[in-house]
Amino acid sequence: GAGVSQTPSNKVTEKGKYVELRCDPISGHTALYWYRQSLGQGPEFLIYFQGTGAADDSGLPNDRFFAVRPEGSVSTLKIQRTERGDSAVYLCASSLMAGRNTGELFFGEGSRLTVL
Amino acid sequence: AQRVTQPEKLLSVFKGAPVELKCNYSYSGSPELFWYVQYSRQRLQLLLRHISRESIKGFTADLNKGETSFHLKKPFAQEEDSAMYYCALILDNYGQNFVFGPGTRLSVLP
């Protein structure tokens, strides 16, 4: 595709439910990032993949959050037992190489998660 | 902890006026710094990076290690510059994790 694609664009769920957010990066981009952006805040780092492996997952807030990238392309962010505090826009970004080599992240439009 | 601060949540200027969006960082090493921009109903995108020493859309930013600042400047603001601006850094030791500031909304008035 022409850019990073994220689905769904909007997700409304109830507290306690499980959700999956999908990211389809730019073809050929080996690095993939997940960020969370709450209202009035900047993007907050969650996890970074280089290829299939999670190179840095230090931003995941707790063990309810998990992400995979099994074939080194599409990634899924999984949130178990959702809480109202998980409501945010979840941004995915991809990069041709690891961060400082290019300095340019290509962002998707985000998935807006609302937990009622 | 490594932090990026942007003291102004909102900055309003008139068209043709100079604009400066402030960014300060706290990191003892040599970070690489960037400005990202999000125009209305568009994706977050890279505006410029300090290592390139480039001017994009009339914007420039100079890294001042003494003041740990990376302010974004433009001598004559245009209405189309209205957007959210985020300062970001990569830590040189790790080179993977982009840390973003909270953002400043620039509003250029006619």
Chain A positions touching B96 (Cβ under 8 A) are: 31, 48, 50, 55-56, 98-100
Per-residue pLDDT at B32: 84
DSSP B38: E
DSSP B50: G
Q: Is B9 on the interface with A (CB under 8 A)?
A: yes
Q: pLDDT at residue A16 above 70?
A: yes
Tell me the nearest-neighbour CA distance from A66 into chain B, angstroms: 18
Q: pLDDT at residue B5 above 90?
A: yes
Nearest to B80 by CA among B43, B108, B45, B104: B108
Q: Which of A45, A104, A106 sits opposite B97 (nearest CB)?
A: A45
Q: Which two tokens stand for residue A107?
A: 């962002």
Q: What is the pLDDT of residues B71-109, one digit of tens each?
A: 999 999 999 999 999 999 886 555 567 889 999 999 999
CA distance B52 to B14: 29
Q: Which two tokens stand for residue B65?
A: 């290690």
CA distances from A11 to A113, B22, B49, B69 (A): 5, 35, 34, 38
Chain B positions touching A89 (Cβ under 8 A) are: none
Count the Cβ atoms, other than its own, within 10 Å of residue B21. 24
Best A26, A89, A100, A104 residue to mutate vs chain B (most B CBs within 10 Å): A100
Q: Average pLDDT for residues B9-26, to the nearest whole number? A: 96
Between the CA atoms of A105, A62, A90 and B34, what dihedral angle is there, to the nearest 10 degrees? Answer: -30
Three-class DSSP category at B76: coil
Per-residue pLDDT at B29: 73
Q: What is the pLDDT of residues A35-86, one digit of tens each?
A: 999 988 899 999 989 889 888 898 999 999 999 999 999 999 999 999 999 9
Q: Does residue B61 contact residue B71 with C-beta atoms inside 8 Å? A: yes
Tell me the nearest-neighbour CA distance from B18 into chain A, angstroms: 24
Alpha helix segments (H runs only) across A5-111: 99-102
More confident residue, A104 or B22: B22
Q: What is the pLDDT of residues B36-67, one digit of tens each?
A: 999 999 999 999 988 777 888 999 998 888 89
Per-residue pLDDT at A50: 87
Chain B positions touching A105 (Cβ under 8 A) are: 36, 44, 46, 98
Tokens 């402030």 correspond to B22
Residue type, A70: P
CA distance B28 to B48: 22
Q: Which of B36, B96, B100 sits opposite A99 (nearest CB)?
A: B96
Per-residue pLDDT at B50: 83
Tokens 């740990």 correspond to B68
Q: What is the pLDDT of residues A77-112, one digit of tens each?
A: 999 999 999 999 999 999 887 555 566 889 999 999
Q: Average pLDDT for residues A32-36, to the nearest whole number? A: 95
Per-residue pLDDT at B90: 82
Residue type, B49: R
Per-residue pLDDT at B2: 62
Residue type, B13: V
Taking an 8 Å Cβ-Cβ cutoff, which residues of chain A contact chain B?
3-4, 31, 33, 35, 40-45, 48, 50, 55-56, 58-59, 91, 93, 98-101, 103-109
Nearest to B32 by CA among A110, A77, A102: A102
Residue B61 exposure: Cα atoms within 13 Å on the Cβ side: 28
Three-class DSSP category at A85: helix
Per-residue pLDDT at B51: 77
Residue B68: left (phi > 0), alpha (psi -120 to 50), or beta?
Answer: left
